Homo-oligomer: A and B are copies of this chain.
Amino acid sequence: MSSSPTKRKILDAAEHLFARDGYHATSLRCITARAGVNLAAVNYHFGGKEALLEAVILRRLTPLNATRQGLLDRLLEEAERSGVQPSCREILRAFVEPTLRLREKGAEAEDFLALVGRTLAEPRGVAMTIFMRHMAPLMQCLFVALTRSLPNLSEQDVFWRLHLTVGSLSHIMRCHERYAMVPENVSIAAPVSELVDVFLDFATAGMEVNA
């Protein structure tokens, strides 16, 4: 019942179309046509368009956040046991790696990444409210861990740099297609592990500079 084939087909179609065209530019008729189900099925199974969006986000965000929180907790426990603060890079990796690893789980999960990237770009949008409600605790935990690992930085500076890091991450989450401005001799398709390292090189250097 909770995983009815109809529900799953709707979630898959909505995930793809919301990510590709945005929430407001995607109609329920387009979603149900792609899913091969009746138009009324969305309202029957989810209650409405906005509730469908929340279901699309939560289906993947909940397990993803559990993974990230688990890695972060393990890092903090280990630090308490050994008395050595985890490095900025390790903390960021706990957040970033499970995220980008979603790309290896097929095109469906890739759609989710793009959707989240879009969501972060619409501060007053419908999806943002849903998203922030489920991200706030983890972000708070991440912020605290980073301030401890960068004791020479003010909270102001840590906040701004974390803000910039989130901006970078959301950008590469949503831009996994060829860009018009991609110069020759440059491939935008890189293996995930390499992408993670490229990102961590960049973000860690930015977080730690002058610290």
A104 interfacial by beta-carbon distance below 8 Å: no
Category for how many chain A residues contact B: 35 or more
How far, in angstroms, from A182 to B162 measured CA to CA in the complex? Answer: 11
A186 interfacial by beta-carbon distance below 8 Å: yes
Residues of B within 8 A of A181 (CB): 132, 135-136, 139-140, 143
Do residues B132 and A122 form an inter-chain contact, with CB atoms below 8 A?
A: no
Expressed in whole angstroms, the minimum distance between the Cβ of A151 and any Cβ of chain B is: 16
Chain B CB count within 10 A is highest, among A143, A180, A204, for A180
Do residues B159 and A163 form an inter-chain contact, with CB atoms below 8 A?
A: no
Do residues A121 and B24 form an inter-chain contact, with CB atoms below 8 A?
A: no
Interface secondary structure of A, over-half rule: helix
How far, in angstroms, from A207 to B171 measured CA to CA in the complex? Answer: 16
Do residues B199 and A175 form an inter-chain contact, with CB atoms below 8 A?
A: no
Chain B CB count within 10 A is highest, among A135, A188, A198, A206, for A206
Query: Would you list the 4 A-B pairs with minimal beta carbon distance, nearest first?
Result: A167-B171, A121-B121, A205-B209, A202-B206
Do residues A177 and B123 form an inter-chain contact, with CB atoms below 8 A?
A: yes
Cβ-neighbour of A175 out of B21, B132, B163 (below 8 A): B163
